[in-house]
Chains A and B, each alone.
Chain A
């Protein structure tokens, strides 16, 4: 199987590899996939609480080159977007950008799931924070 140049580029020069403090209130963490399936992605976002803009994103992936590229691309795309804008990212956008063959489409699906999971986690934290803030007031 030959990879597209973009997949190779992301593989050799992955963007935003790393970790953020998952306990921080402005960090959302998405962990999707399973080791038995050969694909696990962890995607984290740091969201500005005032503007809801994703200011920072990091990823780590256990998976094939296409999985690594998909999640690397995902971190690139979410940065600078609001949370709602990021939710609009569709896996087929990733497929198109990376020229993923049919057999690798599931990698893009997992990357979309990872974005959603990270946003979902962040949103949950915001809902939990609000009642506490009200209590403090």
Chain B
């Protein structure tokens, strides 16, 4: 199901083409960020040069041009998610949107209660915000997830009490791509008068979102995860049934209905709008194509290598995501061996904090397998030839590293690694 997509031309000196017509290096880390679609860039450019006015300048044509660009974008975003334009606010990105959503709801509904529920697998933008609220006297429940990465709805029901004002659970996880049952979560929340926020950074533009059908009250959106520019995002805030309000976290002029002050990033917003319009058009075909590529990658790797494990539910998952642990091989050394391919790892060695992935830990994956995990994010501009190349390089590197691995050797000798008394300290 490959479509002929123009790969954006990067700096030609850094690329070369191998014998199979694959341009190297390959970018397959689309959960970290995505390249800006050329059509998005084209839409943005006039707003840097001719239509550069401040969208809030009400009195001249420069301002009106900026405003028009912004309002068109707002419509496109609203349309993609089933909202009205009055319900879309622009921010600097999903991190800010998460902050605004959680802190904004917490402050606004303080009189009603002080209990917030989230999950251990959330992005740090949510977790760290919740930790800060705990310092201000809010009570936060961090729900565990099951082995497949999904929240247990019965657990969630039990966690809610009469002081619960907010549930914040991400729609799709950035590491393992797992999709939470957010429509059901939203329904549960509405039945109890609790506000439901979802960090939909990885979901918008990739899977169908309808804030009404899916019972979403507040939702974070990011441009750079969906082929738009970095530094811009949006927050959906429900106005009807029920009406939700958020206290602003940035003061200064009252832009965006008082919810987010600051001069709008007009070119960025225009880009986000165009990215949404493209997603609206192309999502059904694209998600099908990406799922096909992802399954191809998975099957090619797992048919050749034993002792490989998929992290998170395959059934409830983003079409382009694959997260695999390769037993007995450490993640950073694997990345080093496939250094013409951009992917990421759950290994401690690759993280800034030297901690292994807390998301994988939450699934019950042992630390050793967390260290051995690789996340692949297949996107709009990846091709079948690239997938085959990546699979083959991964296979040959894993095989090579297993020859170097004392753990593989011990396992082949029939030793159960869990029974071994390791000399290293537990971290």
Contact = CB atoms under 8 A, between A and B. Distances in A.
Given A34-B424, A35-B422, A68 B404 contact: yes
A131 interface: no
Q: Name which of B330, B331, B332, B426 has the most chain A CB atoms within 10 A of its CB.
A: B330
Contacts of A103: 354
Interface in A1-51: 3, 8, 11, 14, 17, 19, 31-42
Nearest to A65: B336
Nearest to B366: A36
Chain B, interface residues (CB within 8 Å), range:
20 to 34
Interface stretch (A56-64, A75-83, A84-92, A122-130): A56-64
A117 interface: yes
Contact of A17 (B332, B403, B426): B403
A137 to B, nearest CB: 36
A63 B333 contact: yes
Interface in B341-371: 347-349, 354, 356, 366-368, 371
A38 B406 contact: no
B154 interface: no
Contacts of A113: 423
B404 A64 contact: no
B328 interface: yes
B407 interface: yes
A62 B425 contact: no
Contacts of A42: 406, 409
Contacts of A64: 330, 332-333, 336, 347, 349
Contact of B423 (A3, A33, A36, A65): A33
B254 to A, nearest CB: 44
A61 B406 contact: yes
B332 A35 contact: no
Contacts of A31: 406, 423
Interface in B404-427: 404-409, 417, 422-427
Contacts of B408: 62
B423 A117 contact: yes
B329 interface: yes
B349 A36 contact: no
Contacts of B406: 31, 40-42, 60-62
A14 B337 CA distance: 13
Nearest to B405: A62
A65 B406 CA distance: 15
A63 to B, nearest CB: 5
A61 B409 CA distance: 10
Given A68-B404, A103-B354, A38 B423 contact: no
Nearest to A107: B349
B393 to A, nearest CB: 14
Contacts of B417: 35
Given A61-B405, A62-B406, A38 B356 contact: yes
A100 B25 CA distance: 25
A38 B347 contact: yes
Nearest to A110: B424
Contacts of A34: 422-426
Contacts of B349: 38, 63-64
B51 to A, nearest CB: 41
A19 to B, nearest CB: 7
Contacts of A110: 424
Given A17-B404, A19-B409, A35-B417, A62 B330 contact: yes
A63 B424 contact: no
Given A62-B330, A64-B330, A35 B405 contact: no
Given A61-B406, A62-B406, A68-B404, A38 B336 contact: no
11 contacts: A8-B336, A11-B337, A36-B371, A38-B368, A61-B406, A62-B328, A62-B330, A63-B349, A64-B330, A67-B333, A110-B424
Given A32-B423, A42-B406, A65-B333, 10 more contacts: A11-B336, A33-B424, A36-B368, A37-B426, A38-B330, A38-B356, A61-B404, A63-B333, A67-B333, A68-B404
Interface of A: 3, 8, 11, 14, 17, 19, 31-42, 60-65, 67-68, 103, 110, 113, 117
